[in-house]
Amino acid sequence: MTSPKISFIYAYPLDAGRRRLFTEKGLDTYPTIEKIKEVLKGWENTWNEVNSEDKVMSTLVKITKRVPTRALECFVFGGGLNPMSTPFLMPVVAKGGKIRSDEKFIETVIHELLHIFVTENTFLYWTMIREKYSDEDVLTQNHIIIYAMLQEVYELLFEKLPPDFSQDGLPPGYMRAIELVKKIGHKNLIEEYHTLVK
C-alpha cells in the first residue's frame, strides 16, 4: 500500500485576506509573504525528516485503519485562524503572535491528519462516541480518539508524550479529552475504536 503524501501549499488568497483584515483592524503584526514562504520551506524539510520512509504516515494508517481518499493539501498562511483539518489549514503564527515552532508544527500536523483519517467511513464509531460521552462537550468528544492516537504515535515514533499533554492554556475541550485519555488509557480507547472500525 502506498502511504498518503502531504503537499504544503502557500495559500495566497486566504493569506491576502487575512493580511488585509489585520491591517484594517489594526491587529498584531502579520508575517510577510517572504517569511511565510521561508517557514513553509523549513516545515517541508522538517516534515520530510520526521516522516522519512513514510514512518509517520504508515503509523497513522496502521492505527486508524484508514487511508484518506481526499488530497492532503495543507494550506499555509500567516495567521488569524486556528489550524484545522477541513480545510487543512496551518497558520505560521501561533496564538500569542509567535512563529509556530517545528515541534509544535509536527504535533499539529499529526493532530489534523488524525482528524482527516478518522472521519472517513467511521459512522458507527462516532455514533457510539456521541451516545457514550453525551455529557461531554462536542469538542471533547471529537478529541478523545485524536489524543489517544496522538499519544500512541508519539510513544511509538518519538518515545515521549505529545507536547499538548504538558501544555497549559489549551481549550477546555482539549484539556478534558486529554484527562479522559489519561484516565481510560489510550490503548483502551484505540481498542474500542478498532472494534467499530474495520
Last residue of a domain, one of 85, 100, 115: 100
* pLDDT, position 1: 60
Is residue 60 located within the same domain as residue 20? yes
Residue 115 counted as domain residue: no
| Assigned domain for 118 exists | no
Determine the Cα angle at 55 with ends 73 and 192, to 5°.
85
What is the spatial distance between Cα 76 and Cα 89, in angstroms, rounded to a whole number? 6
Q: Is residue 44 part of a domain?
A: yes
Query: Would you state the pLDDT for residue 29?
Result: 82
- Give the three-state DSSP class for 127: helix
User: 131 and 88 share a domain?
Assistant: no
Tell me how many degrees the CA angle 159-51-170 measures, rounded to the nearest 5. Answer: 60
Do 40 and 92 lie in one domain? The reply is: yes
Residue 159 and residue 89 share a domain:
no
Residue 4: CB partners within 8 Å, gap ≥ 6? 57, 61, 67, 68, 72
pLDDT tens, per residue, the chain with 198 residues = 678 999 999 999 999 999 999 999 988 789 999 999 999 999 999 999 999 999 999 999 999 999 999 999 999 999 999 999 999 999 999 888 899 999 999 999 999 999 999 999 999 999 999 999 999 999 999 999 999 999 999 999 999 999 999 988 899 999 999 999 999 999 999 999 999 998
Q: Cell digits for 69?
A: 481518499
Residue 105: inside a domain, yes or no? Answer: no
Total number of domains constituting the chain: 2
* Residue 161: domain span: 123-196
Supply the pLDDT for residue 105. Answer: 97
User: Do 92 and 10 lie in a common domain?
Assistant: yes
The total number of residues written for the chain in this structure: 198
**pLDDT at residue 96 in the model:** 80
- Rounded-to-integer distance, Cα 26 and Cα 4, Å: 40
In a domain, 108, yes or no: no
Domain boundary among 100, 132, 157: 100
Per-residue confidence (pLDDT) for residue 168, from 0 to 100: 86
